[in-house]
Amino acid sequence: MISERQEKLLNFLIREYISTSEPVSSLALKEIINLEVCGATIRNDLQELTKQGFITQPHTSAGRIPTQKAYKYFAEKIEQEKQKEFDDFIVRQVRFARQEMESQMQMMEEIMQTLEQDNLFEILNILDKWHKKI
Protein backbone atom coordinates (compact mmCIF):
# COMPACT_ATOMS: atom_id res chain seq x y z
CA MET A 1 0.00 0.00 0.00
CA ILE A 2 1.35 3.41 -0.89
CA SER A 3 0.80 6.65 0.99
CA GLU A 4 -1.09 9.62 -0.40
CA ARG A 5 2.16 11.50 -0.98
CA GLN A 6 3.71 8.49 -2.74
CA GLU A 7 0.61 8.19 -4.90
CA LYS A 8 0.90 11.85 -5.82
CA LEU A 9 4.59 11.40 -6.67
CA LEU A 10 3.82 8.34 -8.77
CA ASN A 11 1.02 10.16 -10.58
CA PHE A 12 3.28 13.08 -11.50
CA LEU A 13 6.20 10.78 -12.34
CA ILE A 14 4.04 8.82 -14.78
CA ARG A 15 2.63 11.97 -16.38
CA GLU A 16 6.08 13.52 -16.70
CA TYR A 17 7.57 10.34 -18.14
CA ILE A 18 4.74 10.04 -20.65
CA SER A 19 5.25 13.62 -21.80
CA THR A 20 9.07 13.57 -21.96
CA SER A 21 10.03 9.89 -22.43
CA GLU A 22 12.96 10.62 -20.11
CA PRO A 23 13.64 9.24 -16.62
CA VAL A 24 12.32 11.66 -13.98
CA SER A 25 14.60 12.90 -11.21
CA SER A 26 13.57 13.65 -7.64
CA LEU A 27 14.55 17.30 -8.22
CA ALA A 28 12.23 17.50 -11.24
CA LEU A 29 9.42 15.97 -9.19
CA LYS A 30 10.01 18.44 -6.35
CA GLU A 31 9.73 21.32 -8.83
CA ILE A 32 6.66 19.90 -10.59
CA ILE A 33 4.68 18.95 -7.49
CA ASN A 34 5.83 21.75 -5.19
CA LEU A 35 5.50 19.60 -2.06
CA GLU A 36 6.42 21.05 1.30
CA VAL A 37 9.01 18.33 1.88
CA CYS A 38 12.74 18.14 1.28
CA GLY A 39 14.36 16.32 -1.60
CA ALA A 40 15.50 13.53 0.74
CA THR A 41 11.89 12.76 1.66
CA ILE A 42 10.99 12.56 -2.00
CA ARG A 43 13.96 10.25 -2.65
CA ASN A 44 12.88 8.05 0.28
CA ASP A 45 9.36 7.85 -1.15
CA LEU A 46 10.79 7.02 -4.57
CA GLN A 47 12.92 4.30 -2.96
CA GLU A 48 9.78 2.83 -1.36
CA LEU A 49 7.95 2.95 -4.71
CA THR A 50 10.93 1.13 -6.23
CA LYS A 51 10.81 -1.56 -3.52
CA GLN A 52 7.09 -2.04 -4.21
CA GLY A 53 7.74 -2.41 -7.94
CA PHE A 54 6.03 0.77 -9.16
CA ILE A 55 9.15 2.44 -10.55
CA THR A 56 12.63 1.49 -11.60
CA GLN A 57 15.91 3.32 -12.03
CA PRO A 58 17.75 2.42 -15.26
CA HIS A 59 21.12 3.18 -13.62
CA THR A 60 22.40 4.83 -10.46
CA SER A 61 22.58 8.41 -11.71
CA ALA A 62 19.37 8.27 -13.75
CA GLY A 63 15.94 9.36 -12.71
CA ARG A 64 13.07 6.92 -12.30
CA ILE A 65 10.70 5.42 -14.83
CA PRO A 66 7.33 3.79 -14.23
CA THR A 67 6.87 0.03 -14.49
CA GLN A 68 3.93 -1.92 -15.90
CA LYS A 69 2.61 -2.16 -12.33
CA ALA A 70 2.63 1.65 -12.11
CA TYR A 71 0.79 2.05 -15.42
CA LYS A 72 -1.82 -0.47 -14.32
CA TYR A 73 -2.25 1.31 -10.96
CA PHE A 74 -2.49 4.67 -12.75
CA ALA A 75 -5.10 3.38 -15.22
CA GLU A 76 -7.18 1.83 -12.42
CA LYS A 77 -7.12 5.11 -10.47
CA ILE A 78 -8.28 7.03 -13.54
CA GLU A 79 -11.06 4.47 -14.08
CA GLN A 80 -12.15 4.81 -10.43
CA GLU A 81 -12.24 8.61 -10.74
CA LYS A 82 -14.27 8.42 -13.97
CA GLN A 83 -16.68 5.93 -12.37
CA LYS A 84 -17.09 8.23 -9.34
CA GLU A 85 -17.77 11.20 -11.64
CA PHE A 86 -20.33 9.13 -13.54
CA ASP A 87 -21.96 7.94 -10.30
CA ASP A 88 -22.14 11.54 -9.04
CA PHE A 89 -23.68 12.61 -12.36
CA ILE A 90 -26.34 9.88 -12.08
CA VAL A 91 -27.15 10.90 -8.49
CA ARG A 92 -27.55 14.56 -9.58
CA GLN A 93 -29.81 13.53 -12.46
CA VAL A 94 -31.97 11.36 -10.21
CA ARG A 95 -32.31 14.22 -7.70
CA PHE A 96 -33.27 16.62 -10.48
CA ALA A 97 -35.84 14.17 -11.88
CA ARG A 98 -37.27 13.64 -8.40
CA GLN A 99 -37.61 17.40 -7.84
CA GLU A 100 -39.32 17.76 -11.21
CA MET A 101 -41.71 14.90 -10.44
CA GLU A 102 -42.53 16.39 -7.03
CA SER A 103 -43.19 19.74 -8.68
CA GLN A 104 -45.45 18.11 -11.28
CA MET A 105 -47.29 16.16 -8.57
CA GLN A 106 -47.85 19.34 -6.58
CA MET A 107 -49.27 21.03 -9.68
CA MET A 108 -51.57 18.06 -10.30
CA GLU A 109 -52.77 18.21 -6.68
CA GLU A 110 -53.64 21.88 -7.16
CA ILE A 111 -55.60 21.01 -10.28
CA MET A 112 -57.46 18.23 -8.48
CA GLN A 113 -58.35 20.52 -5.57
CA THR A 114 -59.57 23.17 -7.99
CA LEU A 115 -61.60 20.60 -9.92
CA GLU A 116 -63.37 19.71 -6.71
CA GLN A 117 -64.33 23.37 -6.34
CA ASP A 118 -65.63 23.57 -9.94
CA ASN A 119 -63.65 26.77 -10.54
CA LEU A 120 -62.91 26.66 -14.28
CA PHE A 121 -61.05 29.99 -14.31
CA GLU A 122 -58.64 28.79 -11.61
CA ILE A 123 -58.10 25.48 -13.44
CA LEU A 124 -57.13 27.38 -16.58
CA ASN A 125 -54.68 29.56 -14.61
CA ILE A 126 -53.03 26.47 -13.09
CA LEU A 127 -52.81 24.75 -16.47
CA ASP A 128 -51.31 27.90 -17.96
CA LYS A 129 -48.61 27.98 -15.23
CA TRP A 130 -47.95 24.31 -15.75
CA HIS A 131 -47.63 24.71 -19.50
CA LYS A 132 -45.19 27.63 -19.11
CA LYS A 133 -43.10 25.59 -16.71
CA ILE A 134 -42.75 22.72 -19.17
Q: Tell me, what's the pLDDT at 118?
A: 65
How far is residue 26's CA from residue 10's CA, in Å, rounded to a whole number? 11
Q: Tell me, what's the pLDDT at 47?
A: 92
Q: Which tens digit of pLDDT belongs to each residue from 75-106?
A: 999 999 899 999 999 999 999 999 989 988 88
Q: Tell me, what's the pLDDT at 72?
A: 95
Residue 78 near residue 61, CB atoms below 8 Å: no
How far is residue 66's CA from residue 74's CA, in Å, rounded to a whole number? 10
Per-domain residue ranges for the chain?
A: 4-66, 81-133
How far is residue 57's CA from residue 60's CA, in Å, rounded to a whole number? 7
Q: What's the whole-number mean pLDDT along residues 103-131?
A: 76
Q: Tell me, what's the pLDDT at 38?
A: 84
How far is residue 18's CA from residue 34's CA, in Å, rounded to a whole number? 19
Q: Tell me, what's the pLDDT at 117?
A: 67
Q: Span 4-66: which CATH code?
A: 1.10.10.10
Q: Tell me, what's the pLDDT at 134?
A: 59
Higher pLDDT, 114 or 52: 52
Q: Which tens digit of pLDDT belongs to each residue from 11-53?
A: 999 999 999 999 998 888 888 887 788 888 888 999 999 999 9
For residue 127, count other CB atoms closer than 10 A to its CB: 14
SS3 of the chain: the string is: CCCHHHHHHHHHHHHHHHHHCCCECHHHHHHHHCCCCCHHHHHHHHHHHHHCCCEECCCCCCCEEECHHHHHHHHHHHHHHHHHHHHHHHHHHHHHHHHHHHHHHHHHHHHHHHHHCCCHHHHHHHHHHHHHHC
Poorest-confidence range of 55-69, 89-103, 120-134?
120-134
